[in-house]
Structure formats: structure tokens, C-alpha cells
Amino acid sequence: MTDSRADLSVTTAFSLLSEERRWAVAAAVGEADHPLSTGALSTMLAAREQRIPPERVDGGTRESIQRDLESVHLPQLDSSGVIVREGGDQYAPGRNLEGLLEAAEAACGYLGDVRSN
């Protein structure tokens, strides 16, 4: 393992990556230049899942995804050090974000190799 994954086991990384919403949250937090709120993450996920622009996401869908993030996915990402909660409902990159994204990239590369054989 590389130093960036020192605190994140392969089993934990793949468990986190097994849920598409966690994968998407990790990528969004990693790409952002500022902490992201649960509302922003919920809107982004709803738009992505429905393949619509963020401004067309309805409140009910956003709230449903936000509840799912708050009760399941964000706590798991936070407790594993992938993201860090910063005051209220803001999330920033954690010490293990880079390791998780490296694991995701490696998995995608491996799956691509397997599929091409």
C-alpha cells in the first residue's frame, strides 16, 4: 500500500466504493475547491442519478437523497477518514481521500483489463 492509504485497508476501500453514492461524494469533495454542504452534495447526486441539470432537481428527491447521505454514507466516509465534517453540514477532503480515489482508479483499471480479455 502507498502512504496515502496507510489508514485505509483495501477491504474498507472496496466496501466504501461498493455504493455509487459514496464514490460520487468522495469524487465531488476531492474535486471541490471549498467544503461542500449536504444540500449541495444531495443536489449534485440527484441531478447525476436523474441525468438532469441541478436546477431541475425537485425538493422531494433532494431531501430523500440528503436523508440517505446523512444517515448512511457521510458517516461512513467521515469515520474512515475519507471526508471530514467541518462545522455544521460542510464536508472537506480527509486524510484517506486520496487513498480511496487511488483504489477506485486501480479497480477501474483492473475491471477494464478483465473485460478486455
Question: Containing H/E element for 83?
Answer: strand 83-85
Residue 103 pLDDT level (bands cut at 50, 70, 90): confident
Residue range 13-34, pLDDT digits in tens: 989 989 999 999 999 999 999 9
Q: How far is CA 117 from the centre of its chain?
A: 30
pLDDT at residue 4 in the model: 44
Q: What CATH number was assigned to the domain covering residues 3-110?
A: 1.10.10
d(CA 104, CA 74): 18
pLDDT at residue 111 in the model: 55
More confident residue, 2 or 14: 14
Residue range 45-91, pLDDT digits in tens: 999 999 999 999 999 999 999 999 999 999 999 999 999 999 889 99
Q: How far is CA 105 from the centre of its chain?
A: 14
Domains of the chain, residue spans: 3-110
